[in-house]
């Protein structure tokens, strides 16, 4: 048990140090993404709502647009920046989660 606790603590420390190391690159990446993909207030709102808990319809309602507009934005992001969003599916519903 003690070895597991020590291993877990080492992993936490490694993650903390990695976050410190990549912080400048993440800031630049977020700025480039925002410039390329979040050019309108609706797109910024859609992106902020992509938390993995809301489906496309829920996001559309929250933002004041259609689920189809959200889907088109999601496709655009997945095509141009595939590593910044993940999508879980439940039946026909899609639950996107912004990863940065």
**Same domain for 60 and 96:** yes
> Rounded mean pLDDT of 58-84?
97
pLDDT single digits (tens) 82-94? 999 999 999 999 9
- pTM value is 0.80
Q: 10 Å Cβ neighbour count for 50?
A: 23
| CA nearest neighbour of 41 among 65, 25, 24 | 65
Query: What is the per-residue pLDDT for 44?
Result: 97
**Same domain for 7 and 56:** no
Range of the domain at 69: 40-100
CA distance 38 to 55: 19
CATH (domain of 93): 1.10.10.10
pLDDT single digits (tens) 12-33? 999 999 999 999 999 999 999 9
Band the pLDDT of 3: cuts 50, 70, 90: confident
């Amino acid at each position: 048990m003690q070895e597991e606790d020590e291993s877990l603590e080492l992993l936490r420390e490694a993650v903390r140090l990695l976050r410190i190391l990549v912080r400048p690159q993440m800031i630049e990446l977020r700025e480039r993404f925002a410039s390329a993909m979040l050019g309108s207030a609706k797109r910024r709102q859609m992106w902020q709502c992509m938390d993995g808990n809301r489906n496309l319809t829920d996001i559309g309602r929250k933002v004041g647009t259609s689920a189809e507009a959200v889907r088109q934005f999601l496709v655009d992001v997945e095509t141009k920046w595939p590593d910044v969003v993940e999508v879980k599916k439940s039946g026909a519903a899609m639950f996107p989660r912004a990863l940065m």
